[in-house]
């Protein structure tokens, strides 16, 4: 059996690694010559970590991951702590740690685990042709590749999605802009072993530790879509949006490197239940595009990869049957993740400011039990309990 994998991001590489481990032949095609991830880092929650462990990356991931032992929310203006609690109860109940990691390092780990030299870079898919017992991927350079199945891990702007669904769903602007990057850890901003988030005015500023004594930081600001972006004014822009915020936030803004700070307008796509058609399967953001508000988009791609490979390995009624079983298991799970993230997004970013203000009040009473309980439920919904 041979699988054609389109996309060499998190989803495509995880799928290729998983299939290869089960002895299924794979060929990975990636559009760009060099992958430049859209964000600086990513939090891999224990459901994602378990998938990477399962795929043989346990030790390597530990090396890359930051130690996030505590979680805290701070008031935006005062900088005072609204709530702070240990993440140990979460780790104990799900049986694994979360690991925030720099994206470039995660991408390198995934490519090296699969075999970087085996990936065909600079191959942009144009369309897919289906036959009774094969699938052919056609690339913009006129070349093609044929396999028994095709895994479309070609991201949120997937060209294969329309062919699977029969229509092209629109991406939905979630109403806020996210700036993210990496800075050296400075404990006058936040403790080195804590996920710290300053909240107020429907905005947030967050810091998570990654390896190499660095913080992954991000700023969220509700803004209209399509504003002009200019790297040279990132710090002034953030100073304006966060005027009146506490001293650690001002210090963070002064420390960021505009050249390596990413600006992303956050989108998602209304969930759909069809993830496969014949011998074609959508995987990762191609199958489910979510806002990053519960940090689960990449983790869900890792879950997809494990489930898809398992269905192909453990069932013998043919490829189409195995893909339908993948769809049956994944569609409700990823719908739930997208909608949970959307709900969190709206509360965090002041869609209805009265609800957001109530959340700020609730945080003052939070012991960690409610927040960690919600996270546990999400994490335990993954395929590797």
Q: Which residues bind ligand FAD (CB under 6 A)?
A: 6-12, 29-32, 35, 38-39, 42-43, 48, 124-125, 153-155, 159, 178, 180, 264, 284-286, 292, 295-299, 301
Q: Which is nearer to ligand FAD, 48 or 368 (CB)?
A: 48
100 forms bridges with which residues in the sheet?
43
CB of 124 to ligand FAD, least distance (A): 4
φ, ψ dihedrals at 173, nearest 5°: -70, 130
Sequence-distant (6+) residues with CB within 8 A of 6 are 12, 29, 125, 137, 150, 151, 152, 153, 154, 160
Write down the least CB distance from residue 295 to ligand FAD, Å: 3
Q: Which is nearer to ligand FAD, 29 or 73 (CB)?
A: 29
Nearer to ligand FAD, 6 or 246 (CB): 6
148, 332, 335 from 339: Cα distances, Å: 33, 11, 6
- Minimum distance from residue 317 beta carbon to ligand FAD (Å): 27
Does residue 247 contact residue 78 with C-beta atoms inside 8 Å? no
Pick the closer one to ligand FAD by CB: 42 or 87: 42
> In 3-state terms, what secondary structure has residue 95?
coil
CB of 182 to ligand FAD, least distance (A): 13
Instruction: Please tell me the distance from the alpha carbon of residue 29 to that of residue 139, in angstroms, as a whole number.
Output: 9
Shortest distance in whole angstroms from residue 273 CB to ligand FAD: 18
Per-residue tokens: 267: 């989108």
Q: How far apart are CA 378 and CA 338, in angstroms?
A: 11
Owner of token pair 């309980």: 373
* 8 A C-beta contact, residue 97 and residue 86: no
**Residue closer to ligand FAD (CB basis): 32 or 273:** 32
Rank residues 284 and 368 by Cβ distance to ligand FAD and give the closer one. 284
Q: What's the closest the beta carbon of residue 227 comes to ligand FAD, in angstroms? A: 17
Give the C-alpha separation, 102 to 278, whole Å: 36
């Amino acid at each position: 059996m041979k699988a054609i994998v389109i996309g060499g991001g998190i989803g495509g590489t995880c799928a290729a690694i998983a299939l290869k481990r089960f002895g299924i032949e794979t060929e990975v095609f990636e559009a760009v010559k060099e992958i430049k991830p859209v964000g600086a880092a990513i939090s891999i929650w224990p459901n994602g970590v378990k998938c990477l462990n399962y795929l043989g990356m346990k030790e390597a991931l530990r090396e890359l991951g930051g130690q996030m032992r505590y979680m805290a929310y701070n008031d935006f203006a005062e900088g005072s702590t609204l709530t702070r609690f240990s993440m140990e109860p979460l780790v104990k109940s799900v049986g694994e740690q979360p690991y925030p990691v720099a994206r470039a390092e995660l991408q390198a780990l995934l490519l090296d685990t699969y075999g970087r030299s085996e990936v065909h870079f600079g191959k942009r898919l144009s369309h897919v042709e289906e036959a009774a017992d094969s699938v052919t991927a056609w690339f913009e350079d006129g070349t093609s590749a044929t396999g028994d199945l095709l895994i479309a891990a070609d991201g949120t702007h997937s060209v294969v999605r329309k062919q699977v669904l029969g229509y092209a769903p629109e991406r939905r602007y979630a109403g806020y802009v996210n700036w993210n990057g990496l800075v050296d850890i400075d404990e006058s901003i936040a403790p080195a072993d804590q996920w710290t988030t300053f909240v107020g005015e429907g905005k947030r500023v967050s810091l998570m530790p990654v390896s190499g004594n660095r913080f992954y930081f991000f700023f969220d600001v509700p803004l209209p879509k399509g504003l002009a972006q200019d790297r040279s004014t990132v710090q002034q822009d953030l100073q304006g949006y966060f005027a009146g915020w506490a001293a650690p936030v001002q210090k963070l803004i002064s420390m960021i490197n505009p050249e390596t700070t990413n600006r992303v307008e956050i989108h998602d796509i209304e969930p759909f239940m069809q993830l496969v058609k014949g011998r074609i399967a959508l995987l990762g953001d191609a199958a489910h595009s979510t806002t990053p508000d519960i940090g689960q988009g990449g983790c869900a791609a890792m879950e997809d990869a494990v489930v898809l490979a398992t269905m192909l390995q453990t069932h013998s009624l043919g490829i189409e049957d195995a893909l339908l079983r993948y769809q049956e298991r994944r569609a409700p799970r990823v719908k739930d993740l997208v909608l949970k993230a959307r709900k969190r997004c709206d509360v965090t970013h002041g869609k209805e400011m009265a609800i957001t203000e109530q959340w700020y009040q609730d945080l003052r009473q939070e012991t960690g039990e409610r927040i960690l309980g919600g996270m546990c439920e999400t994490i335990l919904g993954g395929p590797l309990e």
